[in-house]
Structure 1
């Protein structure tokens, strides 16, 4: 069984909706100087005091808000596009945990009951990524801060 056209369209259009809503949400928080809510990734992420101070300088600028919204949306769409390429089998993961076998999205079937959920494992696997990452000149988390 494959993914139905209705489920495919619902998924893809919902991704676009989430990209727009999240970019707007973050831009609004920056504009209104609510920077304490900006970071939820990685699990122990956040802004240092000096980063908070600099971000607060961005508040109250509608042109900057528009630019940030576009930058955030573009970045998020690039991530989703790469993820969808991996799902489609047109690219492979760059970080390997054994041999990669292609996967596919399919419509739910009672016989194929899921025993784990990707969203439940997502934040916890940040530490696996951190262990394997190549760029160590900067970091996202607040360890050692």
Structure 2
């Protein structure tokens, strides 16, 4: 057997077979094992709020700037995404506080949907307006 030093351990070469037998030092293995166990335990002891952050809801990724023009879409996947996305945005915690500053941007888009020649676009715009009025209430009149 020939012994050669490498990074992270010792390699032993068997002269008969030509194979290398890698042996790492026990201190290196213990450090790695402790680091892995430490990261696992920090994940398991985390609060439910951080677990929720690991798997965000789709509404956390939605952007009102991209959803609102979608109300005027007429093709299937876009109509569904705009309708459901608008609804999801209004269901998140703190939606009234977040939606009121966006009203100046939302109103022109809703108006455009309400004057659209396609009946389905008009219906989506009207539904969005109803949902928005439930969330922001009298602030819609300002």
- The alignment's TM-score, normalised by the length of structure 1, stands at 0.22
- Which has more strand, going by share of residues? 2
